[in-house]
Amino acid sequence: KEWYGTEDGKTVTLQFWGGIQPEYGYDEVVENFNKEYADKGVQVEYNRYVNNSDGNLQLETYLMAGEDGGVDVFIGYGDKTKLATRADAGLLYDYSDYLDSVGFDIAKELGENTKTEYVFDDGSVWGLPTKFDNNAYIMVNKNMFDEAGIEMPYEGWTYAEFTDAVKKLTHGEGQDKVYGMCWGFDFTKSAWTTYISAVLGNNATFKDDSMASVNWEDPAWVAGFNLVKDTCDEGYAPTLADDVADTMTPQSMFLEGKCAMFGIFSQLRLCMDTETYPHDFTTALVPFPVPSEEYADCYTQDQANYSGDFMCISASTPYKEAACEFARWYIQGGMSPLIKAARYPLWLGTDMDAMLDYVKENAGDTIDIVSLQHLFSTDRSSYTKASYVNSKKGELATILSEEGQDFLYGVTPTAEEALRKATERGNALLAE
């Protein structure tokens, strides 16, 4: 269409909410859209909200306020459960009819799995994922690896190779100590368990799709618990107590050169921002190691791919057609500048070579392009995180976290016992 404004010829302005600072690409997204649609009766303004419990409550309060709330489109975070909850509350607009009207085939544009996962049983679309991600990759200081003579594990590695590397990468004492690894226990809470469970795919939590019992006594869980504890006990990584006491973050540890690896992937945008975080090394993304060669199929952690950053439309927006068009534009390439925020487009029409060129242009030598080439080489059409999910997901995660912390603090002497206790509590919860 040539006009998305009002019938009497007035331009409408969409209020677009997201959880990322505008300078990490959203300013450019808005500028590009407004330039392209300047004569089509629609413009957009970006509003940042903080993606935490308070920020999401604020967003939902504005959505419930209807037209007076001033939210037309927004990026939602979390999982399908949160989408369904907001839809059930009447906060979201089903834009499936608009997508059909413009010939937007979700399976062809975003992958068959995306269609299966995010088109609800009645055909409604309450939000579509816009980015792909992988929770089983870690940030690595490539310069430290090169100086230590350690080959970059682009194609994957084992726990034994990882342990050998963190030993070589750890040096110094006291305030000058550089750790081989920082698990980021306090920063990400569950990242270390997410890494461990990645090789188990669908069975990361449950033994089977009946979801009647947990799978936490699997050998992969035992090996992973021991890997994390051993690196801390040997001094190759900060202990849980030290991590929490010092509030260790990617900014305070990784970007300050106090560790060679940090257990987080989504903070890559910080590494590109040398103005805020001055540093002179190159950051690479590499897959988390697997327990042994028996898990060779998981070396590159492709099975841990998933999609997120849901494009949603407010049920109360008076500009539904304009909002739908902005959503389509954003998904089909409009979000490309968000590569600066480490938001990699899920859209299958994305020119990934152009994305890499964009990174080179904006990040210079701060990012290892070879590592991104490996990440981008995976099949984006299947980017849906595989897992069995039920309503007790949050309570189960709390149980595993509590027993895992007791093990890391030394309260529980062995990984086997910690996981046995977690299993007993988890199965009791499921039996209720």
Mean pLDDT over 353-366 rounds to 83
Q: Is residue 383 scored above 60 in pLDDT?
A: no
Residue 79's pLDDT is: 79
Residue 116's pLDDT is: 86
Mean pLDDT over 36-50 rounds to 97
Residue 353's pLDDT is: 86
pLDDT 10s digits, 318-329 = 999 999 999 999
Residue 66's pLDDT is: 87
In the structure, what pLDDT confidence band is assigned to residue 168 with cuts at 50, 70 and 90?
A: very high
Residue 303's pLDDT is: 83
Residue 382's pLDDT is: 56
Residue 387's pLDDT is: 57
Name the residue with tokens 């698990």: 183
Contact 203, 197 (CB under 8 A): no
Q: Percentage of residues in the chain with pLDDT exceeding 90?
A: 74
187 vs 241, more confident: 241
Residue 381's pLDDT is: 59
Sign of dihedral through CA atoms 333, 336, 341, 347? positive
Mean pLDDT over 231-238 rounds to 97
How, if at all, do strands 137-141 and 283-287 pair?
A: antiparallel
Q: Is residue 384 scored above 60 in pLDDT?
A: no
Name the phi and psi angles at 260, rounded to 5.
-85, -25
424 strand-pairing partners:
none
Residue 397's pLDDT is: 92
Sign of dihedral through CA atoms 260, 147, 271, 308? negative
212 vs 376, more confident: 212
Who's near 415: CB < 8 A, 6+ residues apart?
221, 222, 225, 226, 229, 407
Q: Is residue 33 scored above 70 in pLDDT?
A: yes
Q: Is residue 9 scored above 90 in pLDDT?
A: yes
Mean pLDDT over 21-45 rounds to 96
Residue 239's pLDDT is: 96
Q: Is residue 210 scored above 70 in pLDDT?
A: yes
- 255 token code pair: 């970007």
pLDDT 10s digits, 219-230 = 999 999 999 999
In the structure, what pLDDT confidence band is assigned to residue 148 with cuts at 50, 70 and 90?
A: very high
Q: Is residue 147 scored above 80 in pLDDT?
A: yes
Q: Flag the least confident range among 340-344, 350-354, 365-369.
A: 340-344
Average pLDDT, the chain: 92
Residue 188's pLDDT is: 80
Residue 415's pLDDT is: 98
Residue 313's pLDDT is: 98
Residue 380's pLDDT is: 61
Residue 267's pLDDT is: 80
pLDDT 10s digits, 66-104 = 888 899 999 999 878 889 999 999 999 999 999 999 999
Contact 274, 362 (CB under 8 A): no
In the structure, what pLDDT confidence band is assigned to residue 379 with cuts at 50, 70 and 90?
A: low
Residue 130's pLDDT is: 95
Residue 92's pLDDT is: 98
Residue 162's pLDDT is: 98
Task: Give the span between the Cα atoms of 261 and 399, in whole angstroms.
Answer: 27
Residue 298's pLDDT is: 93
pLDDT 10s digits, 407-423 = 999 999 999 999 999 99
Residue 363's pLDDT is: 79
Instruction: Return the HEC string of the chain.
Output: CCCCCCCCCCCEEEEEEECCCHHHCHHHHHHHHHHHCCCCCEEEEEEECCCCHHHHHHHHHHHHCHHHHCCCEEEECCCHHHHHHHHHCCCECCCHHHHHHCCCCHHHHHCHHHHHHHCCCCCCCCCEEEEEEECCEEEEEHHHHHHCCCCCCCCCCEHHHHHHHHHHHCECCHHHCEECCECCHHHHCCHHHHHHHHHHHHHCCECCCCCCCECCCCHHHHHHHHHHHHHHHCCCCCCHHHHHHHCCCHHHHHCCCCECEECCCCCHHHHHCCCCCCCCCCEEEEECCECCHHHHHHCCCHHHEEEEEEEEEECCCCCHHHHHHHHHHHHHHHCHHHHHHCCEECCCCCCHHHHHHHHHHHHHHHECHHHHHHHHCCCHHHCCCCCCCCCCHHHHHHHHHHHHHHHHHCCCCCHHHHHHHHHHHHHHHHHC
Residue 199's pLDDT is: 95
